């Protein structure tokens, strides 16, 4: 089983892929992504009679997109891959899922991934 995560916009997406079957969950995460992403993963797994110990790979949509959304999604993706000792890949573009599946099938997983924000990060520093 492969899990794919896309959190670049307010409409978050999680996919479960088993062989040629793809199951998808979308939800309006907006500012609740941190609170809802784990619940959404668990709900999708339970609905389909699956468990995380069946995990064989993780795909992440690396961006560009929302700074906070990508950071949260990337952290969850890295944690899943590290916890279950599975390969992890990050891709982008309209065919990100297809590219991710290809990379996993070629054993091109990485030890850790990072988001690609698509622009420089700007910080607001408090004036003292």
- Tokens 């468990």 sit on residue: 51
| Contacting residues for 114 by C-beta, under 8 A, at least 6 apart | 62, 74, 90
Confidence band of 120 (pLDDT split at 50, 70, 90): confident
Is 90:110 a contact under the CB 8 Å cutoff?
yes
Chain segment 49-91, per-residue pLDDT in tens:
999 999 999 999 999 999 999 999 999 999 999 999 999 999 9
Q: Rounded to 5 degrees, what are φ and ψ at 43?
A: -60, -45
Is 58:113 a contact under the CB 8 Å cutoff?
no
Domain 2-105 sits in CATH 3.30.420.40 = yes
Q: Would you state the structure tokens that stand for residue 3, as one six-digit string?
A: 């899990």
The pTM of this model reads 0.91
């Amino acid at each position: 089983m492969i899990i794919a995560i896309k959190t670049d916009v307010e409409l978050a997406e999680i996919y479960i892929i088993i062989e040629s079957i793809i199951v998808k969950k979308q939800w309006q995460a907006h500012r609740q992504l941190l609170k809802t992403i784990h619940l959404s993963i668990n709900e999708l797994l339970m609905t389909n009679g699956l468990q995380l110990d069946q995990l064989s790979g993780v795909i992440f949509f690396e961006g560009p997109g929302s700074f906070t959304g990508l950071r949260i999604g990337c952290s969850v993706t890295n944690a899943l891959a590290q916890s279950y000792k599975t390969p992890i890949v990050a891709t982008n573009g309209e065919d990100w899922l297809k590219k991710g599946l290809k990379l996993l099938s070629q054993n091109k997983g990485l030890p850790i991934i990072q988001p690609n924000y698509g622009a420089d990060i700007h910080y607001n520093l408090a004036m003292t």
